[in-house]
Structure 1
Amino acid sequence: MLDAHTRVPVAEYDACPVTGIVRRMGERWTLLVLALLARRPYRFNELHRAIEGISQRMLTRTLRGLEGDGLVERTVFPTVPPSVEYALSAEGADLMASLAPLTAWAVRRGGSSASM
């Protein structure tokens, strides 16, 4: 644990692998998209209908970011018109397994952040 007088250089903080994943998980739609994909693969429009309030643009940005991070895989099927399916990658499934204890902790607390 850092004491009150410890300073962490910004470059060191930004280079830390934990910083990147915490930033990604802190984005509004990321955890919801990952939670849905943990159940089964989805086509884009299925995901869009399943997530109330997300725009197509934001869903596209979220999926591209997760794909770029290696957490989601995108498969294009050669149909007319082409259909695209999104699924968790092995890394994404590993991440979701790692988040299970955090999820259980939050559920035990009743989802309240008031006492934090």
Structure 2
Amino acid sequence: MGRIKETSTNFENKKILADECSEVYAANIIGGQWSLVICSWLTNGKMRFGELKKAIPNITERMLTMQLRKLEEYNILTRTVYAEVPPKVVYELTEIGYELKPIIRQMEKWGERHKNLKIE
């Protein structure tokens, strides 16, 4: 999955829409399947990289790293490195990230109610 070049018209349109619509801004951050599932796992508390990888077996290490960096950049989670050998790295939702918990739970409930209703 490639990133949109920051010089493209698509990027500019996406940026304008996100600047004007708060829901689009939020969806751009947590709207991807991986970001949402990472946040969902972290609502239960701190996790290490390996624990997240084990909890989300279909994600590649590269994609997990990219998504964690993105969520850290938007202050949704923090990455704490402990001075140990080997280094211990722990991910945890920030206060802003924990605000997503009721939203994630509502999405989960909605999905449970409606996922079998799609038209074939």
What TM-score does the superposition give when structure 1 sets the normalisation length? 0.78
Residue 69 of structure 2: which of 39, 64, 68 is its match? 64
Shift in Å, 1:40: 1.9
> Paired residue for 2:4?
none
Q: Which runs of 5+ in 1 are unaligned?
A: 1-9
Conserved 8 A contact 2:40-2:104: no
Are residues 1:13 and 2:27 paired?
no
Q: Percent identity?
A: 31
**Aligned AA for 1:13?**
L
CA displacement 1:63-110 (0-9 Å, x = unmatched): 01111111111111111122100011111111122332232222222x
Rate the CA distance shift 1:64–1:113 in 2: closer, same or farther, 3 A: farther
Q: Distance in 1 between matches of 2:81 and 2:117?
A: 40
RMSD: 1.8
Q: Please, which runs of 5 or more residues in structure 2 have no aligned partner?
A: 1-12
- In the alignment, which of 18, 28, 42 is matched to residue 33 of structure 2? 28
**Alpha-carbon distance in structure 1 between the residues aligned to 2:117 and 2:35:** 19
Residue 85 of structure 1 corresponds to 90
| C-alpha deviation, 1:12, in angstroms | 4.2
Q: 1:3 matched to which residue of 2?
A: none
**DSSP-derived class of the 1:46 partner:** helix
Question: Could you tell which deviates more after superposition, 33-42 or 13-22?
Answer: 13-22
Distance in 2 between residues matched to 1:99 and 1:46, nearest whole Å? 20
Shift of 1:21: 1.5
2:111 is equivalent to residue 114 of structure 1:
no
**TM value normalised by structure 2:** 0.76
2:80 is the alignment partner of 1:75: yes
**Rg comparison, structure with higher value:** 1
